[in-house]
Amino acid sequence: MNAAEAFARLRRVGVPVIRTADAAAALRQTTFAASQTLSRLHRAGLVSRIRHGLWWLDGPVDVYRLPEHLTAPFPSYVSLHSALHVRGVVEQIPEIVYVVSLARTQRITTRAGALSIHHVAPEVFGGFEETAEGVKLATAEKALFDVAYLSAGRSRRFTNLPEIELPRGFRRAELARWLQRITSPRSRTITERKLEQLLARAVQRK
């Protein structure tokens, strides 16, 4: 099987990221043979190696599209400082990609960049939109909520944010809706207080 045929078979799977085991099934090869084929495609510039056993098939690697493939089978979406920057709420560009997930909290380093994964309870998971590029991105409201929610935990990483500028149409009612989903009264109170602090110093975009 030549490189073009192998790459075409992998693209027909219909995903931007593939694991070596899944590639083996698509190529009808052993896992070892599939790994060799993928390495050959990598040298040809057709695929990119993300990390051990994980490959990118869809042109230049978009690190914002990686989270759900790295946390599978648990879902995830881009949020926190990363989403706040993309949504225009904060100007500072994070050095890593911040992700909210049902997977455990962890830091994942890939050849495309580092991702900081943060676990939240199932009842407060959500509040994202899928962009035209396929990125699952938190809304401005949910990204700000996630910052406040995670600041209620042990980590002090989310205790401070740079200057905040709320976009036009920012829906404060959405914050209240997510607050009601927190089952722990203590966590709900801490999250609410943190949101109040963030909103008190936020600038409303005109």
Q: Where are the alpha helices (DSSP H) in the chain?
A: 3-11, 20-27, 31-43, 67-71, 80-86, 140-151, 172-179, 185-200
Q: What is the pLDDT of residue 86?
A: 96
**Locus of tokens 């050849």:** 111
**Global pTM exceeds 0.85:** yes
* End-to-end CA, the chain: 59
Q: What is the pLDDT of residue 162?
A: 79
105: pLDDT strictly greater than 70: yes
Q: Tens digit of pLDDT for each residue in 45-79?
A: 999 999 999 999 999 999 999 999 999 999 999 99
109: pLDDT strictly greater than 80: yes
Q: What is the pLDDT of residue 144?
A: 96
Distance (Å, whole) CA 82 – CA 141: 13
Q: Tens digit of pLDDT for each residue in 82-99?
A: 999 999 999 988 999 999
CATH of region 3-56: 1.10.10
Q: What is the pLDDT of residue 206?
A: 64
Every domain of the chain and the residues it spans:
3-56, 63-204
